A and B are shown apart, each in its own frame.
Chain A
Amino acid sequence: MAASPAGVSGFYKVLGVVALVGAAALIYMVKKPKDVSIPANVAVLAADTAGFRGYLLGSDSAAVEVSEYADFQCPACQEFETVQFPSVRQQLIETGRVRWRYRDFPLAQHVHSRVASHAAACANDQGKYWELHALLYQHQSEWFGKRDASGSFRQYARDAGLDVPAYDTCMQSAKYAGRIQASVDEGTKLGVGSTPSFLIGGRLYMGSLSSDSLRALVLALSAKPAP
């Protein structure tokens, strides 16, 4: 396999140039600005919140409304979503006892939260909010530690059945940054300081609740017998 010294020397030079070009290309891809960035603390315009009060599940005529203030990157919210919420949905929402209102409350220390909230808002444009909402929480451990999670969110959008080019356009526009900020402002005014927090019957409950606790609260408020 050995070649003449002159040939090998020339080859090393060519290989060195190829290595430098390849390394420069990789460095460029790592350093270049990422496609998606959702700014925090933007000015909230009236149009940002017009006709929007959160993502709703359940009957309009439910006796009790529960507002959840949560952060897609918060582990406690993830646990609530995956462990407690299926029972809440089955026992309280689908039975017509509760109308659930999900509000974004991205915490400052969670760098991907606003992008995740925005991804879900873009899914809502296509009528797939709750599908993407569930995927974001289910796969939280996969994207939690990434430097840029937008590729993962895009994949979940595809898995949820979204039109990906339309999703990309929505994400790049950052058009829901104001709506997300309005949600944060609303929670802050109410006294939300941690996630998840719940507003039930006018009272704020901070920290995760079990499905049993929620059920007891709702039954007490609605004063209806258990099914």
Chain B
Amino acid sequence: MGVATLSLAGLFVATYLYLFKIGKIGTLACGTGACETVQLSPQARFLGVEVSLIGVLGYSALLLLALLALQPRYEGPAWPSRLLALLSGGAVLFTAYLTGLELFVIHAICRWCVTSAVIIVAIFLLAVRDLRPVAARR
């Protein structure tokens, strides 16, 4: 349940950033203005795709998997839970790469990106915990 809730929160963050990128939102609620610096930088695209759009798709996939893993037939470490851990692990690595770009290339930190990074790390930790048998979690 925690993974689903966090995935939904991440989906809103990514959607907000993507709506800004495509011009649907005028300015980002970001005290320092660094969010716009990051979002308008060339590094805001990865292999020709907006990073925020990748976030929207990624969080959507995580949310669907988390809801699937809640179904009784997938009780225990079934494939949705394993895929959830794998996907969120990949997302953590991708987030680390993006954070590196913010720190060392763009030289600006976007608060919404930090929020997303915290969310994805939390999702990964919960997903890994959910792979363990129920008794072992106590």
A residues with CB within 8 A of B: 1-3, 5, 8, 11, 15, 18-19, 22, 25-26, 29-30, 34-36, 142-143, 145-152, 154-155, 158, 164
Give the A-B contact count at a CB cut-off of 8 A.
Answer: 81
Residue pair B19, A30 in contact (C-beta under 8 Å): yes
Known pairs A26-B15, A26-B16, A36-B26 / 10 extra A-B pairs, C-beta < 8 Å? A1-B74, A2-B69, A11-B1, A29-B19, A35-B26, A150-B27, A151-B20, A151-B26, A155-B37, A158-B33
Nearest-Cβ distance from residue A189 to partner chain B, whole angstroms: 34
Docked CA distance A8–B20 (Å)? 34
B49 located at the interface, meaning its Cβ lies under 8 Å from any Cβ of chain A in the complex: no
B70 in the interface (beta carbon within 8 A):
yes
Residue of B19, B40, B72 near A26 (CB, 8 A) is: B19
B130 within 8 A of A: yes
Q: Do B22 and A146 touch across chains, with their CB atoms under 8 A apart?
A: yes
> For the complex, what is the distance from the CA of A19 to the CA of B10, rounded to whole Å?
12
Q: Which residue of B lies closest to A30 (CB)?
A: B24
Check if A2 sits within 8 Å of B5, measured CB to CB: no
By secondary structure, the A interface counts as: helix
Q: Does B112 contact A (CB under 8 A)?
A: no
Assembled-state Cα–Cα distance A144/B38 (Å): 19
- Which of B81-133 touch A at CB < 8 Å? 81, 130
Picked from A2, A19, A29, A158, the residue with its CB within 8 Å of the CB of B25 is A29
Instruction: Scan B62-77; emit 1 where CB is below 8 A from any A CB, else 0.
Output: 0000000111101111
A1-B76 in contact (CB<8A): yes
Q: How far is the CB of B2 from chain A (nearest CB, A)?
A: 10
Chain B: residues with CB nearer than 8 A to chain A? 1, 4-5, 8-9, 12, 15-16, 19-20, 22-28, 33, 36-37, 40, 69-72, 74-77, 81, 130
Contact yes or no, B71 A2, CB < 8 A: yes
* Residues of the A chain whose Cβ atoms lie less than 8 Å from the Cβ of B8: 15, 18-19, 22
**Inter-subunit contact B36/A155 (CB<8 Å):** yes
A3 neighbours in B (Cβ, 8 Å): 1, 70
B73 nearest CB across to chain A (Å): 8
Which partner residue on chain A sits nearest B33 by CB separation?
A: A158
Q: Are A2 and B33 also in contact (CB < 8 A) when A149-B23, A152-B40 are?
A: no
Closest to A35 in B: B26
Query: Given the complex, which residues of A lie within 8 Å of B36, measured CB to CB?
Result: 151, 154-155, 158
Q: Is A22 in contact with B23, judged by CB distance below 8 angstroms?
A: no
A150 and B5 alpha carbons, distance in the complex (Å): 33
Q: Which residue of A15, A151, A152 contacts B5 across the interface (Cβ within 8 Å)?
A: A15
Whether B12 lies near A147 (C-beta < 8 A) is no
- CA of A22 to CA of B37, assembled, Å: 25
Q: Which residue of B lies closest to A2 (CB)?
A: B75
Task: Name A11's closest neighbour in chain B (CB-CB).
Answer: B1
Q: List 15 A-B contacts (CB under 8 A).
A: A1-B75, A5-B72, A8-B70, A11-B70, A18-B5, A22-B9, A26-B19, A30-B24, A143-B23, A147-B22, A148-B26, A150-B27, A151-B20, A151-B26, A158-B33
Contact indicator A151/B74 (Cβ below 8 Å):
no
User: A25 — which chain B residues lie within 8 A by C-beta?
Assistant: 12
Q: Which of A18, A34, A155 contacts B40 (CB 8 A)?
A: A155
* Chain B residues closer than 8 Å to A5, beta-carbon distance: 72
Query: Smallest CB-CB separation from B40: which chain A residue?
Result: A155
